[in-house]
Chains A and B, each alone.
Chain A
Amino acid sequence: MQNECKCNCNTADDPRYVELKAYIDSVKGNEGIAMSVLQEAQTIFGYLPLEVQKFISQNIDVPLAELYGVSTFYSQFTLTPRGKHHIGICLGTACYVRGAQKLVDKFVAELKIAVGETTEDGLFTLDATRCLGCCGLAPVIMIDEDVYGKLDDVDAIPGILDKYRG
């Protein structure tokens, strides 16, 4: 087993780590800061890889396993990089009975990725979500902050995707 780390985790000069450290310093001393620090890191880096969680663990003195536990429990965190645009297909009951699975199949075919994955060009991440809270629009999807309701026609999907490719 190796005794010295060979991984490239020199964080001193990376402005993202500087920003994260500044945030940590601003909340340090408060109780239960792990969650908010992870949220901040998720915003800064877009995901929470090993290096980032190691950095947090060392700086807030919370075991890495605990941070990993939190970051794999909540769906707001991701351990892999996300695409520029986030597609969420509602798989709540109402959308599901109105044919949301067909939407999933179409997106999977169009983007050539599985649910939870990101396209190779880093443009789209595809997710199936819980109820988005607007069942009257079923079946509904969201791309970033845009809502597309009553999406009965799967053939409309390529056109929608093109709007984000420009």
Chain B
Amino acid sequence: MEKVNVTINGIAVSVPSDYTVLLAAREAGIDIPTLCYLKDINEIAACRVCVVEADINGVPMRNLPASCVLQVQEGMNVRTNTAQVRKAVKSNVELILANHNRECLVCKRNGSCELQKLCDELGLTEVSYEGKMRKAVVDDLSHSIVRDSSKCILCGRCVSVCRDGQGIGVLDFTHRGFNTEVAPAFDFSMRDVDCIFCGQCINACPVAALKEKSNIDDVWAAIEDPDKIVVVQTAPAVRASLGEEFGFPVGTPVTGKMVAALKRIGFDKVFDTNFSADLTIMEEGTELLNRVTTGGKLPMITSCSPGWIRFCEMKYPDFLDNLSTCKSPQQMFGAIVKSYYAEKFNIDPKKIVSVSVMPCTSKKTEAKRPEMQVDGLADVDIALTTRELGDMIKQARINFPALADEECDSILGEYTGAGVIFGATGGVMEAALRTVADILTGQDLKDIEYNVCRGIEGVKEATLTLPIGGVPTEINIAIAHGTANAAKVLDAVRAGEKNYHFIEVMACPGGCVHGGGQSHVSAKARLDVNPKVNRANALYSEDERQTLRKSHDNPEVKALYADFLKEPNGHLSHKLLHTHYHKRDVYCQD
């Protein structure tokens, strides 16, 4: 890339010609404030907080351009810290505050709010503009996401991430002027539109206009109830992000501390979704082999991600038979707790409250699906996000960083490295390949790191040769993360351009590690770290540390089959661990 020379606050820098002034300033060690800006997702100069003074070869630019969209030019001279700029930025933020519900002390984002932080940095001490406020619309009808327009600052980050990032477009700017509201079409609740509850909008939101529906109080109530046995499972990706709630760098693995904290909170048993991730591989791997050898529907597509399932049900119903019938690890875990575990320890399953901690907001809705119960008992009673667990740990006043590592309880706490990597894009595929390859070759293969599955490229493809029925057979795989990428893969399959056997889809970009329930990473922090990469690395490093790294080697999973389920895809498995899907219409008026 050609370089251009610019001067920012008197500091000369040479930067690639496609840089914006905002990025060039960072090269010069100068921090320009931003609010609506979210790198690569929302660069629309809406908030006017990143404005600067600039001239080109001595000719001043008109007004104060927004540095997030101002491309560098040879001879550009930028000033970010002048009286005029400071005054403009301050006024612009005050205007935002004039129409913002400033109940910071009792706000979900108190402490993680980017607007709050900006006000602190700007040293605002008053809001000069008082007047009419936007009408507050609170939509809390879904199980997953709450939208509160009184907090919305119209930055458009959620609009961009949903429409451009995920390829859906649930939210947009509606009406105009003072009445502008970021909302779904025709005043629908997010419950009734094509929202998959992935929560990427929550991660993008700088304030608390979008947040998860909290179930913390339900969990405290269950723990307080002496008649209830409260068990908890934590998804693989949670351990890669939970530490961020307590100031650890993004992607610090905190498995041992997490387990210790859950025990101190008062859960009766602390288990691990990694266990049921291993179980999922046994069921899903067997299903894949059955489909391949008996001429079943191919490509088979993974079904762990409830956001993806909703997307498929709404947008690609012609692929429903391609979805693996396996429930997700969250649901499998719940079903096993209330059957096998209850039976083994002689517990009335009605007394069990099955709690999950997930990196995901869609899991809350998945847990409420009518299909996700056995004999009238929900597999999972309460699904929390990583952030909610962080809040509970804070409420319990546990000194998280000081906790010594502890281990999960038996018999549903053992897991292999294959279960751990489920949280990253490509992880389910890699875990499945480790098991399927062993079964097909009849060997204990040592070469188990499938690098083709790793990384954050939008769509990953590979062809592997595996012996099926003794005959070396080419198996085509694809991995997509983010629903926009999933749509690309499905469109190619639909058009007959691609011929895959097995496809892994995760609804969130980067997979579960970057799910909508994970700890907030500010727009500013995202300029330096990529949570998708850092958190995935945390999981891959935990995988490396495990002695057992293949799902079928998990001794507790083996015992589950020997003592209870008998065989993968058997009668009992189908009752407890498998499900079905249906087409879903949206935007329907009664």
Contact = CB atoms under 8 A, between A and B. Distances in A.
A35 interface: no
Contact of B175 (A2, A65, A72): A72
Given A3-B582, A62-B169, A65-B193, 7 more contacts: A3-B584, A7-B589, A63-B169, A64-B186, A65-B172, A65-B174, A66-B169
B184 interface: yes
Contact of B176 (A4, A54, A62, A73): A73
B585 interface: yes
Contacts of B194: 64
A118 interface: no
Interface string A43-74: 00000001001100000001111111100110
Interface in B142-171: 163, 168-171
A52 B192 CA distance: 18
Interface residues of B, number: 26
B553 to A, nearest CB: 40
A109 interface: no
Contact of B172 (A5, A7, A66, A79): A66
A5 B185 contact: no
B587 A68 contact: no
Interface in A1-27: 1-7
Interface of B: 163, 168-176, 183-186, 191-194, 582-585, 587-590
Interface in A66-93: 66-69, 72-73, 79
Given A1-B191, A4-B583, A53-B185, A65 B170 contact: yes
A6 B590 contact: yes
List the 5 closest A-B pairs by CB distance, nearest first: A63-B169, A68-B185, A5-B585, A65-B172, A69-B172
Contacts of B587: 50, 54, 64
Nearest to A69: B172
Which size bracket describes the interface of A in this complex?
Answer: 20 to 34
Contacts of B185: 50, 53, 64-65, 67-69
A73 B182 CA distance: 12
Contacts of A64: 169, 185-186, 193-194, 587
Contacts of B170: 63, 65
B147 to A, nearest CB: 12
Contacts of A66: 163, 169, 172
B482 to A, nearest CB: 16
A72 B168 contact: no
Contacts of B175: 72-73
Contacts of B169: 62-66
A69 B584 CA distance: 24
21 contacts: A1-B191, A2-B585, A2-B588, A3-B584, A6-B588, A6-B590, A7-B590, A62-B169, A63-B163, A63-B168, A63-B169, A63-B172, A64-B185, A64-B587, A65-B163, A65-B170, A65-B185, A68-B174, A68-B185, A69-B174, A73-B176
